[in-house]
Amino acid sequence: MNNQFEEYTLDKAHDEANVIREEAKKISGNENPSNSDYQKANDIIDKKLDNVYFQEAVYDKIAQGYEKATVRPLRKFSYNYTIEHYIGDLKDKKVLDLACGEGISTRMLHDLGAKTVHGVDISEKMIELAKKQKTPGVTYEQLDCMGDNFPKENKFDIVSGMMFIHYAKSREQIKKVLKNIYSVLEDDGIFYAMTVNPDMLKNGYEEYGVKITPQGKTEGSESLIELHDFDWNKFCEFSIHYWSKETYQEIFESEGFEIEWKNGVVSEEGIDKYGKEFWNDFLNNPAYVIIKAVKK
């Protein structure tokens, strides 16, 4: 297994070993698999995991730091305001919030007037944090948004994915996510995907409490993200993947969506507090953007 799995808890490692053992039995056709059978099973399960357990382990690890990072000025004066500005009134809408984390965006969507909001996230600890906030009309569930078992029984007017789509490490994963979303959206429903500005992931960034360090400049390469306050006190870090705007455009359209790009904005409160000049660089080249995708 790749060394990222060293981050697992003992329970995770035990579960994984059992899965590999059962896969090896299937390959061998008996109760005593050979070393070769175990190696084949190991490779198969490693591919099936497709980063899911690692993503969960990473986010369980950073959950507390990420919760603290939500008080950052950039979060308060731009991130939250950008969501409110572009999504607007959700009166009587049924909303699905993907990769909801500790539920801040989920509750924000409810405050915009949504009838119901269902938040899902792969991290058990993130969902635990979210459930501590009791909000009528808001529910939470631990779920892999990129998985094959994505429930399709319910339909939603709006699906949101705030800082989520850039975790896809392959074009196939992006397509899988969009197929899942398409399947639960009502006709003419909208998927709002907030993502780190692809130009930043390719070229790097260090301003407004965000540090982006590219690990490469090719499609799918990783970038390390660090979240700080404006005094540069670090809260947490994690890795995401670079996909160009052209690639997103191509894949979204191939999966039946018509898209618009929306740049991050800053609230009047933020401008009053720090001054317009302070925000000029951000407004000219925002750290994140929203993809508005309408189901066709």
Q: What is the CATH classification number for the domain harbouring 179?
A: 3.40.50.150
Same domain, 34 and 168: no
Rounded distance between C-alpha atoms, residue 41 and residue 31, angstroms? 14
- 95-116 confidence digits (pLDDT tens): 999 999 889 899 999 999 999 9
Q: What is the 3-state secondary structure (H, E, C) of 171-233?
A: HHHHHHHHHHHHHHEEEEEEEEEEEECHHHHHHCEEECCEEEEECCCCCCCEEEEEEECCCCC
Same domain, 152 and 24: no
Same domain, 101 and 240: yes
Judge residue 65's burial from the number of C-beta atoms within 10 Å of its C-beta, 0-12 exposed, 13-18 middle, 19 or more buried: middle
In angstroms, what CA-CA distances link 222 with 25, 36, 47?
A: 35, 32, 18
Kindly state whether residue 55 falls inside one of the protein's structural domains.
no
Radius of gyration of the chain (CA): 20
Same domain, 188 and 247: yes
Same domain, 17 and 131: no
**Percent of the chain as helix, strand, coil, to the nearest 5:** 45, 25, 30
Domain count of the fold of the chain? 2
Kindly state whether residue 54 falls inside one of the protein's structural domains.
no
Same domain, 72 and 131: yes
Same domain, 87 and 205: yes
At 248 the pLDDT is 98
Kindly state whether residue 99 falls inside one of the protein's structural domains.
yes
Residue from 78, 79, 81, 85 nearest 101 by CA: 79
User: How many other CB atoms are found less than 10 A from the CB of residue 152?
Assistant: 10
Kindly state whether residue 56 falls inside one of the protein's structural domains.
no
Same domain, 118 and 184: yes
Same domain, 36 and 98: no
| 177: Cα separation from own chain's centroid | 11
At 44 the pLDDT is 64
Whether the Cβ atoms of residue 243 and residue 214 lie closer than 8 Å to each other: no
Same domain, 218 and 107: yes
Domain that holds residue 153: 61-295
At 237 the pLDDT is 84
pLDDT along the chain (296 residues), means of 10: 34 49 76 72 55 45 48 80 95 96 92 96 90 93 86 91 93 95 96 94 89 92 89 85 97 98 96 93 92 97
Same domain, 18 and 162: no
Q: Where are the beta strands (DSSP E) in the chain?
A: 94-98, 116-121, 138-142, 156-162, 185-196, 205-207, 210-214, 222-228, 234-241, 257-263, 288-295
Kindly state whether residue 38 falls inside one of the protein's structural domains.
yes
Same domain, 129 and 213: yes
Look at the block and give the residue holding tokens 């950073």.
62
